[in-house]
Amino acid sequence: MASNSGGDTNNQQQEEDFQSTQNEFLEKYYQEFDDSEENKFIYTDIHREYINLIEKYLENELTKRMPGFSMDEFTKLVLERKNELEGEIFEMLLTFSDFLAFKEMFLDYKAEKEGRTVDLSSGLTVTSVHQDDDMSDDMSDFTIGNTFSLTGHSLNNGQSS
């Protein structure tokens, strides 16, 4: 079977380039953002610069792959269908038009840089889910520590209730 490792490598490099571009931008401005209801005037300038940076990056990449590509038409289509789109790439695309998503991206980055994020890895327990003819109560919990269950069951001292 033929491998597409050249294309995969190229896509991986482009993803790394994009992440690097975005991280450099976040690093440059994250200290300007505060987690408050009030928005500073500088946020508008930073948002405009971000839009220009990402649009230029995307337009360059997409024009390489699709002759005749139009960023204006693409942006119009994304906005028209924003409720139908899912995934990280579309969340990033919505930061163009959705200022609150843009601000949230910076606040998340700032929290991570300042060590204010929750690390769930130390208390994460994953148990297998068994498929059975009677699936009613045979599902195992996915638990974090001894207080939170991803299946929605409350836990008391590590015991499902």
Segment 5-37, tens digit of pLDDT: 555 676 777 778 888 888 999 999 999 999 999
Confidence band of 131 (pLDDT split at 50, 70, 90): low
> Torsion angle, CA of 72/77/78/79, rounded to 10 degrees?
90
Query: What value does the mean pLDDT of the chain take?
Result: 74
Q: Where along the chain do the CATH 1.20.1520.10 domains lie? A: 7-113
* Calpha distance 114→33 (Å, rounded): 13
Find out whether 129 and 141 touch, Cβ atoms under 8 Å: no
Report pLDDT for 39: 93
Report pLDDT for 122: 61
Q: Say if residue 142's pLDDT is above 70.
A: no
Q: 7-113, superfamily in CATH? A: ADP-ribosylation factor-like 2-binding protein, domain (1.20.1520.10)
